[in-house]
Chain A
Amino acid sequence: MNYHSPASFAEASALAANATGITRFLAGGTDVLVQLRSELVTPETLIDIKKIDGVSDITQNADGSWTLGVAATGAEMSEHPTLGRDWPGVVEAMDLIGSTQIQGRATLTGNLCNGSPAADSVPAMVAAGVTVTVTGPGGDREVAVEDIPTGPGKTSLTKGELISAVHIPARGDNAGDAYLRFIPRTEMDIAVVGAGVSLRLDGDTVTEARVSLGAVAPTVLLVEDCAEAIIGSTLDDTALEALAAAASAACKPIDDKRGTIAFRTEVAGVLAKRAAKIAYARAKGEDL
C-alpha cells in the first residue's frame, strides 16, 4: 500500500490520476479505515488530504455564503458559533453521525463520497442547495451535491478527481432548514429513512422549498413534487398530507436488514412532514 500526503489538491489529483489499482482519499477516515480493517476494501494507494492548507477551515464569505474545507469535522461544525444559526439542519444532520469520537474525524465530504444512500448529511446538503468544487486533471468544476452520488458506493467523480471544497449558500431572511432520520434506537445507528427540508417564507406562506429523502432509493433524492406540495401553502394539514404523499410516491426502496419497503415508504412521508414543520418554525424565528 502506498501512502501519500500531498500539499495541494492539484498534487492530490495528479497522484490519483497516475495511480493504479484501488485508490482512496483519506480525510477523517471514518469509512475508509473501517473498510480497510474489515477487509471490504484494501486500497493500493491512499492519499491523505488532511495536510493540505486550509482544509479544516469554516469560512463565511462576504455575501453570507459559507465555504467549508474538506477536512472540517462534524465536531468543528457543531462547535462553530454561527454556522448552526444559519443552517441548523445541515449541522444537526452531520452531528447525528456516529459517536463523539467519530465526530472528531468525520467530514461532510467523506460522508458524500462514501456514496451511501443512507448518509445523514447528504439529504440535508441537498435540501440546502449545497455545491462542491471538484478538482481534477482538467481543473476545477462546481457540482451540485445531488449530482455526486450515482448509486450505492458510487459517485460521478472520475479518475483523478476529488472534492476540494464545500459551498453552502447564503441563508437569507425568513428561511429555515431541518433534517430528521429514523433509526430504531436513539443514536449510533444508520438511517432507515432520512428527510431534509429547506424553505423560505413570505409572511406565513412558503415561497421556496427543497425537500430531499435519504435511504429510500439507490441515491439520495431531491423531490420536486414534495417542494411543489408545500410552495404557496401555509403548511396547513392539506399541504402536509400532500407533502407526505409526494414523499412516499418518490420512494424506490429495498427490503433489507434495516427496514422494509412498506416501512420506508410510509415513514418517508412522516419524516418529511415533521422536518417541514421544524423548518417552518425556524423560518418564523420560533426555533433557532
Chain B
Amino acid sequence: MALDDRKSDFTFVGTRPNRPDGLDKVTGRAKFGADISAPGMLHGAILRSPHAHARIVKIDTSKAEAHKDVKAVVTRADFSDKVEFKPGLSGEFWNVLENVMASDKALYDGHAVAAVAATSALAARDALKLIEVEYEVLPHVTDVDKAMAPDAPIIREGAADYSVPEGMHPNVVRYHESGHGDVDAGFAEADLVIEDSFATEATHQGYIEPHACMGSLGSDGKGELWCTTQGHWIAQKTCAALLGIETSQLRVTASEIGGGFGGKTTVFIEPVALALSRKANRPVKIVMSRSEVFRATGPTASASMDIKIGMKKDGTITAAQGIFRLQGGAFPGAPGDMTAMCAFAPYNLTNVRQVGYDVMSNRPKQAAYRAPGAPMGAFAVESVLDELCNQLGLDPVDVRLKNAAHEGTKASYGPTYERIGLVETLEAAKAHPHYSAPLKPGQGRGISCGFWFNHGGETSVSLALSEDGSAQVMVGTPDIGGSRASMALMAAEVLGIPYENIRVTVADTATLGYNDVSHGSRVTYASGLATIKAARHAVEQLCARAAASWGIPADAVKWENGCAVPSGPNAGDFDPRPLADITAHMGATGGPISGHFEATPEGAGVSFGTHIVDAEVDPETGKTSITRYTVIQDAGKAIHPTYVEGQYQGGAAQGIGWALNEEYIYGDDGRLQNSIFLDYRIPVASDLPMIDTVIVEVPNPGHPFGVRGVGETGIVPPLAAIANAVSNAAGVRMKQLPMSPPRILAALKDNG
C-alpha cells in the first residue's frame, strides 16, 4: 500500500488525544437539543395524520384554542405561503414547508397537520385530542414499483421536472441517465452475462437523540432558535423562508448532537416551534418521541434495481448496466441519480450505462443517510459481481483488482479520477489475515468495494489568539464525529502549540460566516482546510509582529515549532520568539491577532473502501451471525485515527442492521407498523463482532494534509459484502434486503 510519505512531518496530526467534548458528554454536562429551557417557555406538540393519503376537508381548532393551558394553535395558515408579508415559496423550500405542515392533503402516515403550544408537555399532548380534523381518505401507494405502475394513485400532479421522459407516471419526478461506450457491444464480447433484480427497504438513521428544539420569535420578526442539527445555517435559511422573516434576524445555535448521519440536515419541528412562538409570544420547545422520529422525519429511500454485467473468463468486465428506482416519500428528492452514479464507480469500464429514477410514494420525505443512494446500488452491483466470480471460479478480490479504477480512469459517471486509493484497499484486503483465514462449515465470506464522492461546500472558520498564547477556533460545522478534536489537531500542527491549548467551538449563526451542513464527509476536509488556512493567516501576523520587533522585513521571518525565527542566516541573528511571547504584547504591537478563512473548497477527493465479512447462517432457522468483519478504507490522511476507525466501525454496524433486520414495514392501510425500536430492529451491541479496521492513506491532493472525508464511504460496501457472505454461507443468492430469518429460511426451502 502507498504510505503517506509526509507522515514524519507531523507533530500532532495522527496522534490520538482525548476529545475536548469527552468530559462534558460522559458527565452529562453537555447540552443536547432537549436540554434547554427558558423563562415562560411553552411546550409544543404536533398533530399527525393517521392516514397514508387523505384530503384535509376541515380542521377545527376552536376547542383546543379554548383550553386554559393552550396558548397557541397553528396550522398551515400560519406559515409564509399563507401570511401576508412574504407570500409564495417555491422549489425545495416549498417542499420542506409542505412536509413540515400539510396543506390540502396529508401525504403519509405521520404527516403534520396542526400543532399546539401549552403550559406543559402533557397539556400539549392532551390538547391535540381537542383538534378535529375531517379527512377524505384517498388511495395510497408505498412501494416503489407499484408507485410507477400506470394505475398508481398520483401523489402530486406536476411535480416532475424536465428530465423525466414523456409517458412516465406523474409519480416519477426526476430521471438520470449516464455512462459511456456501447454496452450491447460489450455484452456480446462477454463469456458470461448475468442479469438480475434486487430490492432494498427504507431504513432510518436511528440516531439516539430525537429531534428537539426551542424557538422564540417576536412580532418584530427577530428570533432565536436552539436545535439539534447537522447545520444551523440551513436551519436559519429554511426557517426564515418558511416563516417569512429575514435570514439574519433569526439567530440559530446548534446544540450538542446525539447522532445525525444525514437525517438532521433539514428541519422538521423547528419552523413549527417558531410559528407557535410567534403566535403565543413566548418561547416554545418541541421534543419528538421516537415514534414521531420514525414516522415523520427522513428515512432513506427504498430501491428496486435491475443489473446486467458481462465478464470474460479472465475476469475482465466487458459491459455493465443498471436501472435504479428509488422511492423517497411524498416529495421529490430520492437519490436515484446518486445511486446510478456511484454503482459502477469503483471500476474501470469501457462500456457502462446507468439509469436512475426518483419516485414519489405515500411515505415520509426521505433525508440523507450516509452516502445517500450509494449503498443500495453497491448491493445490487457487487452481488452480481460475486455471482460472476462464483460461476467463473474466480477470486473476488483478484477480479476487483483487475477491473479497479485508478488515477486516469474515466469514471462511470463522467469525470477522470485524480489520485485515488481503491487498488491500495484491495491489495490490503488480499494481504489481510482475514481474507485467508479458514471458514467453518455453515460460514461464508463476502467482499465488496464501495465509492462515495465526498463534498467540499461553503465553509467559514475564524481563529483568535489569546494573550496567554492559547487559541480559540470557531467552526460552523456541528461536531458529529469528533471534529473538534480533529480541528484542534490541525490548528496545533500549524500554530505549533499543544492540542490542549486550543479550544474549538461550534459558533452560532450570528458569530461566524455561512457554513454548509456537516454532511458529504466534508467536515474534516473543508472545515479542516479552513482551520489550517485560518491558522496560517494568524501565523503570517505573528511573523510580521516578530519581524517588526527585530526590525527586519516580514518575509525574512518564518514559523517553526511554535516560534517566529529568522528565515535564514542573512535575516539576522535573533532568538526565536514563541507564540505566547508575541501574543503577550499584541495589544501594544498592533492589536489582537486573529485568522480567518472563507471558501468553497473543490478538492474533496473521492473515497473508496473494501470490506471483508464472514457470516454464519443457521440452516434450520435462517438466523445470521456476523462472525468476522474487516473494514479497509482510504482516509487520505487520518488526522485523529481513533475517530477515523470509529467512522469505519459505525458504517459497518449500521450496514449490518440495514442488511439483516432493519426495515420500514407498512400495513395494507399504508401505516407504519414498527415505529419503535422494539420492532425496528437496529443491531444491539451483542449482535456485532469486533469490527477490525485498516486505515489506508493515499493523500488527497486537494487538502493541505492529504485528508479525504471518511464518514460515508464506510456504509457503502456492507450491504453487498454481507449479502455475499450470507449467500455464500446459505448456498442461495439473497436479492432482497433485509435478509431477515423468515426471508432466508424461505430461500433455503425454495432451494431444496
Contacts and interface: CB of A to CB of B under 8 A. Distances in A.
A144 interface: no
Contact of A263 (B291, B660, B661, B745): B745
B683 A260 contact: no
A257 B661 contact: no
A189 B742 contact: no
A184 B661 contact: yes
B513 interface: no
Interface string B667-695: 00000011010110101101100000000
Contacts of B599: none
B740 interface: yes
Given A182-B621, A182-B623, A184-B661, A266 B745 contact: yes
A259 B743 CA distance: 9
A186 B684 contact: yes
Interface in B604-626: 620-623
Contacts of A184: 623, 660-661, 681, 740-741
Contact of A267 (B621, B665, B687): B621
B742 A259 contact: yes
Contact of B679 (A39, A182, A258, A263): A258
A27 B139 CA distance: 45
Nearest to B620: A270
B687 A270 contact: no
Nearest to A192: B741
A22 interface: no
A266 B741 CA distance: 12
Contact of A189 (B620, B665, B678, B745): B678
Contact of B681 (A185, A260, A262, A266): A185
A263 B741 contact: yes
Interface string B642-680: 000000000000000000110001000000011010110
A187 B686 contact: yes
B745 to A, nearest CB: 6
A263 to B, nearest CB: 4
B674 A257 contact: yes
A116 to B, nearest CB: 12
B439 interface: no
A187 B686 CA distance: 8
B661 A185 contact: yes
B621 A270 contact: yes
| Max chain A Cβ within 10 angstroms of own Cβ: one of B660, B665, B678 | B678
Interface in A10-36: none
A185 B661 CA distance: 8
Nearest to A273: B620
Nearest to B622: A263
B746 interface: yes
A240 to B, nearest CB: 12
Given A190-B678, A257-B674, A262 B684 contact: no
Interface in B200-230: none
A22 B660 CA distance: 40
Contacts of A270: 620-621
Contacts of A288: none
Contacts of A189: 678, 681
B446 to A, nearest CB: 19
A189 B684 CA distance: 10
B683 A263 contact: no
Nearest to A258: B679
A188 interface: yes
A172 to B, nearest CB: 32
A202 to B, nearest CB: 30
A182 B687 CA distance: 14
A192 B743 CA distance: 14
Contacts of B749: 262, 266
A262 B747 CA distance: 12
A39 B681 CA distance: 22
A259 B745 CA distance: 11
A33 to B, nearest CB: 15
A257 B621 contact: no
A257 B673 contact: yes
A182 B683 contact: no
Interface in A146-194: 182, 184-190, 192
Contact-residue bracket for chain A: 20 to 34
Nearest to B683: A185
Contacts of B125: 39
B661 to A, nearest CB: 5
Contact of B665 (A39, A188, A257): A257
Contacts of B678: 188-190
Contacts of B673: 257
Contacts of A258: 679
A90 to B, nearest CB: 23
A257 B679 contact: yes
A270 B621 CA distance: 8
Nearest to A186: B686
A192 B661 CA distance: 13
Contacts of B681: 184-185, 189
Which of A38, A185, A266 has the largest number of chain B CB atoms within 10 A?
A185
Contacts of B740: 184
A190 B679 CA distance: 8
B686 A263 contact: no
A182 B665 contact: no
Interface string A57-100: 00000000000000000000000000000000000000000000
B742 A262 contact: yes
B211 to A, nearest CB: 18
A262 B661 contact: no
A226 B678 CA distance: 31
Contacts of B661: 184-185
A211 B683 CA distance: 31
Interface string B433-468: 000000000000000000000000000000000000
B120 to A, nearest CB: 15
A257 B661 CA distance: 11
Nearest to A274: B620
B507 to A, nearest CB: 37
A258 B742 CA distance: 9
Contacts of B745: 262-263, 266-267
Contacts of B684: 185-188
B687 A263 contact: no
B742 A263 contact: yes
B746 A262 contact: yes
A187 B674 CA distance: 18
B226 to A, nearest CB: 25
A96 B742 CA distance: 21
Interface string A245-286: 000000000000111101100110010000000000000000
Nearest to B676: A38
B529 to A, nearest CB: 41
Nearest to B125: A39
A6 B742 CA distance: 47
Nearest to B738: A184
Nearest to B618: A270
Contacts of B660: 184
Interface in B719-752: 740-742, 745-746, 749
Contacts of A190: 678-679
A270 B687 CA distance: 22
A186 B621 CA distance: 14
Contacts of A267: 620-621, 741, 745
30 contacts: A38-B291, A38-B676, A39-B125, A182-B621, A182-B623, A182-B741, A184-B661, A184-B681, A184-B740, A184-B741, A185-B661, A185-B681, A185-B684, A185-B686, A186-B686, A188-B678, A190-B678, A190-B679, A192-B741, A258-B679, A259-B741, A259-B742, A262-B742, A262-B746, A262-B749, A263-B741, A263-B746, A267-B621, A267-B745, A270-B621
Given A259-B741, A259-B742, 7 more contacts: A184-B740, A189-B678, A190-B679, A257-B665, A257-B679, A260-B742, A267-B741
Pairs of residues from A and B, 10 with the lowest C-beta to C-beta distance, nearest first: A263-B742, A186-B686, A270-B620, A260-B742, A257-B665, A257-B673, A184-B661, A186-B687, A188-B684, A185-B687
